[in-house]
Structures are given as structure tokens and as C-alpha cells.
Structure 1
């Protein structure tokens, strides 16, 4: 059974992440990339980000802020299938930009639920 206090803290964290997201660039911005996210519950969410300036952590934070997104997840490209590095690690303190991560101007990314069953 989940702890109500933990749930409240998670909701607060989701709200904080949402408030810190950069504004979505306009559809005609030549520097934007359009990403469609396919969530584990088959929901599709679409958003634009700045291609060369946005770090992949922005994508993670955007997804984390959504109520439909699992608590623990990873973001996966379809072809070639690979996990998108979105969070800082010991080896890499800054996650790559969307451009450095090899994303194109229009992508479909899959959100995999890593929450323990």
C-alpha cells in the first residue's frame, strides 16, 4: 500500500518540474523539434522543444510532470532501439542536447515503465 505522504511529495515534485520547464517554442520556430511521446497506457503526448539548446533532461522533466507518466521510467527510441540518456550520471554531469542525442526534427519516443510491480 502506498504511503499518502510519499504520494503528496511525488505530486509536489511533479508540479515543481512542470513550473521549471522552458516555454514551448512556436510551431514555426526553425530551431524546434516536435516529439510525440507514447506512454505505457497508450496515451500519446506531443510537445516541441528547442533542438540544439534543450538538454534531454528537459524531456525527462516534462514527462515526469505529467500525471499519466509512471514514477520511474526511461525514454526509448524505436529505431535503432536505444535508451535516451536523460539524467546526469557520474560519467556525464550534463545530459546531451536533443541534437547531440541524435534526435531528428520530428520524433516518436516511447516511455517505458520501470516502476516495480
Structure 2
């Protein structure tokens, strides 16, 4: 069934941080939403590219050789194999587009690693 997705409504359905929620599927990828605040972990995805699109706030993505700052309405694609470290000084809302096989924390397992796929 084809249906529209209201991002504000979907973001209102959860409060926890760094726990992506699936809101759609596109071919072999998921469209996910997440709320971020604070620092995440250094990680990489060996086989998948990952897109971060900022809906609200400012997201800093630290790379080993430079930093990328994303403002509302901007996105970046982190290529597979590139280590990255997301940082949100204040709460940030992001839309993620990534293959269904993408593990939340890539090659690193921490207490923040999400192992279940939750839909909203």
C-alpha cells in the first residue's frame, strides 16, 4: 500500500536517543529516523554507504581527516569503509538512508548497539 509519511508525527512517537526507527523501505534500503544528542562511537560500515539528512538541529560528523557540519536541510553520504564519529551538541533529528544489512554501530559493539529493527 502506498502511503505518505509525516516526519513530525513519526518523531513524536519516540524519545530515546541513538536508536533509529524504520519509517519506510526503498528497494534494499531502509528509511530511518533517529534522535541524537551527545557523542556516539567511532565506527565504520565495511559494506554499506550511509546517508545522514538533518531534519532539525546541527550534526557534526568527525572523520579521521576532517569534520563535516550538517545544518537543517543538509545531508552527507558516508562511503563504506570510512570511519565516522557523529556528535550532536544539542538534540538533532536525522533521517538515515542505508541498506537493510547496515548494523547500527557498524564494526563496533557497545551498550548503544541496536540489534532489533523497530518500525514507527
Q: What's the TM-score bracket when you normalise by the shorter of the two chains?
A: 0.3 to 0.5
More strand by share: 2
Larger radius of gyration: 1
More helix by share: 1
Q: TM-score normalised to the size of structure 2?
A: 0.33
